[in-house]
Structure 1
Amino acid sequence: MTRLLLKDELLDAQLIRAVGAAGHHGADLGEALQAVRGLDESDLDAWYAAWNTLGERVFAFAEEQERAGHRIAARDAFLRACTYLRTGGSMLYRAPVDPRMVHSNTRQTEAFRRAAALLDTPVETVQIPFEGTTLPGYFLRAADESGVRRATVIGLGGYDGTAEECYFYFAAPALARGYHVLLFDGPGQGAALLQQGLTMRAQWDTVITPVVDFLLARDDVDPARIALAGLSLGGFLGPRAAAGEHRLAALIADSGAYDMYGGALDRMPKPLAHGFEMGQKMARVALGEILDAMARKPTAGWSLRRALVVHGIDSPLAYLDVLKDYRLDGYAQAITCPTLVTHAEGDAIGASAPQTFAALTVADKELITFTAAEGADDHCEAAARTLFDARAFGWLDDRLHPEVTA
């Protein structure tokens, strides 16, 4: 995998993730590298402080540029501030929820909305009706026109992503190609989690169906050309959604795992995994102690601490029980729309994505593997999103034809 600056694998990957937004004005390489240079990589409070300081400084610069009438400079600085503020808070997952993480989410949202008001195309802040409440999101229009129906992309992020971050992953490249875009935080994600307390679920068709209903009520969305694009955990949730929601015209699953539970068992010593599978009390106790110790480690335990917050559970061992429902067997086979599965060859998280592709029974399916030789072997092709945009949206363009309006 690509290594940029930091010795710690997780933190370096998060640095690459932030810098990867540069292709759509979401970061500057020099700013990001300077923020973490010399950082104590065992101190996640220092990580937060470094990124938060950078984010607030760039936010203040954006406000100065806006007051001076420099719209483009202000817009781009607000977009960078959004990335930096999210990056700082994302390492603070712990139960109970850290107030700094909630503040980080609020500030990255403020930064994005300030940027959105300065974009060349209209952005609506929306609330999508959902199970007695609403999901926060944005509807971004490709052009300022009334009553013209266009192909539309729903962008779906991952475990610790936000709707605002999905602007850089999906919205910016889609808008440039003539698509409308809907971004939103579902249960367990972004503001839906941190501001509303909505936790993650595997049954994502129950989330996407009201989202599609919301789009179909609009007079600027072509009902026959709605695509769903998800990355990381969204690359798993997307297929789960498409298995039950057949009004989707296309699906892009970027680096999604086929069997998250099986993958977790594969990383355990075989006797312990077998004992856990068989429900043996001693195996559960031993595994619980191991996972509790792991969760206390600064970066090695981050994903376990994240799981407690995202799923609303009280122990790492409970996370393994939750994962039993995070499988695509029996679901991938029910997908009826054209489907693109992407996979980065150095990505351990999405290593089982080819299994998702193999399980698909729909006739129109394609698998794209991104390689180290292309500089695209990181999780979700984080260091080569321009290449991802070209290939994935090329595939989607051939099916939904965004240049056509109705």
Structure 2
Amino acid sequence: MKPGITCIFTITLLLIIILTVSAGCISPVQQSPASSAVNVVESPPAVFKDQEFSFQFLRTVGASYSGEADIGECLATASRIKEGDFESWYSEWKNTADTFRTAGDKSLAAGHRRTAMEAYYRAATYYRTAEFFLHGNSTDPRIVETWGKSRETFCDALALDAVPYEIVSIPYENTTLPGYFYMVDNSGKSRTLLIVQTGFDGCQEELHPYAVEGVKRGYNVLTFEGPGQGEVIRVQNIPFRSDWENVIKPVVDYAVSRPEVDEDRIALWGISLGGYLAPRGAAYEPGIAALVTDPGTYDVGENLLRNLQEGGGAAANMTKEDLREWLRTDPAEFNDAIRKAMADDTGTRWLNENGMFVFSAGSPAQFWAKWMDFSLVGTAGKIQCPTLVCAGAADHFDPDGVQAQALYDNLTCERKLMVFSDEYGAGSHCQLGAFAQSFGAKFDWLDDTMGMDG
């Protein structure tokens, strides 16, 4: 990039990054049957004025639907948190998690297994929430410690639950990926399999509500974590990769090796950035019979570039390769500008800190350069299975709906675009906080597509 436009470019890019924090979904094409058409509005904060804190609170309290959080406990914890303060967030959620971990232990010791199980599930969620904003220092020992307590507590809950399951290790390159295999029963019968994966900032324990809903509907369910996610980044130190087909293939190979899996009836569901990862994998994996992108994500770099070009000035004639090439030089002016924005905005801080953590990037520029490789341009058309592209009308990660629409437009397979309005609170990212509407509409599509009884 020519030095003469660097300053203008940096200022323009900085403004765009603050306004467009991530790639998500929205489109007015088709409303889900669970939510009638209304004007698109941003949901008011439930507890916090800070948008990122408000969304993460909604994400946590939404687990109440499956009994893995409780509204009163969440509200009481939130009331003690200082707005926008990451340390306060950690301390209060950690205290709540410890409280209900201890309560579960006491219940188990007294022989109250169900009460212990329920307390453990809630504590696991609260530990996971506590750890969420710690990634600004990748060497902070609390990351692995708190994540480890969340997983341990979740596994203690699973051990007391009635749903058959197995903790599995999936062969991957020269290591393994962690997973949970949930079963309808212990019969060993070959059944339809639903594979569910998380995205940019999730752990697979958070996918438990999806697994439970799948089991209720007759699916065996496999969840897993790949590079950049959960245990794989925290313990194995393996960062994200854009060519996710090299992750999905070994996962599917493992799945079909199990007698409980009907190899002709495998569905794949990607959550959040999984709305890019899952279709990327499905494009090269003929064993996928149905795909849910939740929400649809088409091209991170193209979306960023389009916004820059619309800003005019020196950036108007920039190409995607110009942007990528400049970011790869790790320009100090870009990093300084982003770090200044991070100091002033919680969402920008979280996005860049977590991005550097999960990509093992040493600076914001290195993170963005790597993230720009996440593209389905020239790939989406290779997907052959029926595909559901989801979107939320109040999804603050992409309020213009560019990504879901672009993915839908570039699919050549059987496809459906399902947009959730916010009339009854289902318009947020991944419909978090509205599992009843979300599961009803998405699983009904999946049941119809896979020929399930539901």
Q: Give the alignment's TM-score, normalised by structure 2.
A: 0.84
* Residue of structure 2 in register with 1:181 after alignment: 221
Task: Find the aligned partners of 1:280 and 1:214 in 2 and give their Cα distance.
Answer: 40
* Residue of structure 2 in register with 1:358 after alignment: 409
* Residue of structure 2 in register with 1:157 after alignment: 198
Moved more, 59-68 or 200-209: 59-68
| Aligned pairs (5 A) from 1:234-383 | 234-266=274-306, 268=308, 269-271=311-313, 273-274=315-316, 277=320, 278=322, 284-297=331-344, 299=346, 300-350=348-398, 351=401, 352-362=403-413, 364-383=414-433
Report deviation, 1:358.
Answer: 1.3
Q: Is the CA contact 1:150–1:402 (under 8 Å) kept in the aligned structure 2?
A: no
Task: Find the aligned partners of 1:283 and 1:21 in 2 and give their Cα distance.
Answer: 39
Secondary structure at 1:10 match in 2: helix
* Residue of structure 2 in register with 1:85 after alignment: 127
**Aligned AA for 1:379?**
H
Q: Is the CA contact 1:276–1:283 (under 8 Å) kept in the aligned structure 2?
A: no
Report deviation, 1:318.
Answer: 1.4
Task: Find the aligned partners of 2:147 and 2:451 in 1 and give their Cα distance.
Answer: 35
Report deviation, 1:400.
Answer: 1.8
* Residue of structure 2 in register with 1:63 after alignment: 105
Q: Give the alignment's TM-score, normalised by structure 1.
A: 0.94
**Aligned AA for 1:64?**
K
| Aligned pairs (5 A) from 1:24-39 | 24-39=66-81
Secondary structure at 1:301 match in 2: helix
1:228 aligns with 2:275: no
User: Paired residue for 1:389, among 439, 447, 453?
Assistant: 439
Task: Find the aligned partners of 2:206 and 2:125 in 1 and give their Cα distance.
Answer: 7
Secondary structure at 1:226 match in 2: strand
* Residue of structure 2 in register with 1:166 after alignment: 207
Report deviation, 1:267.
Answer: 5.2
Report deviation, 1:273.
Answer: 4.4
Note the alpha carbon deviations across 1:272-321, whole angstroms, 9 max, x for none.
64568535699955433211322345623110011111001111011221
1:96 aligns with 2:138: yes
* Residue of structure 2 in register with 1:144 after alignment: 186
Say if 1:306 and 1:392 are closer, same or farther in 2 by CA, change over 3 A: same
**Aligned AA for 2:124?**
C
1:398 aligns with 2:448: yes
**Aligned AA for 1:160?**
D
Task: Find the aligned partners of 1:397 and 1:245 in 2 and give their Cα distance.
Answer: 21
User: Paired residue for 1:208, among 248, 251, 258?
Assistant: 248
**Aligned AA for 1:342?**
C
Q: Is the CA contact 2:330–2:366 (under 8 Å) kept in the aligned structure 1?
A: no
| TM-align CA RMSD | 2.0
Higher relative contact order (CA 8 A, sep 6+): 2
Task: Find the aligned partners of 1:382 and 1:323 in 2 and give their Cα distance.
Answer: 24
Say if 1:108 and 1:267 are closer, same or farther in 2 by CA, change over 3 A: farther
1:23 aligns with 2:86: no
Q: How many residues align?
A: 401
1:48 aligns with 2:99: no
Task: Find the aligned partners of 2:84 and 2:396 in 1 and give their Cα distance.
Answer: 23
Identity of aligned residues (%): 34
**Aligned AA for 1:228?**
L
Moved more, 385-394 or 345-354: 345-354
**Aligned AA for 1:109?**
R
Task: Find the aligned partners of 2:202 and 2:168 in 1 and give their Cα distance.
Answer: 18
**Aligned AA for 2:341?**
M
Secondary structure at 1:153 match in 2: strand
Note the alpha carbon deviations across 1:188-240, whole angstroms, 9 max, x for none.
00011101111101111100100001011111111011111011101110111
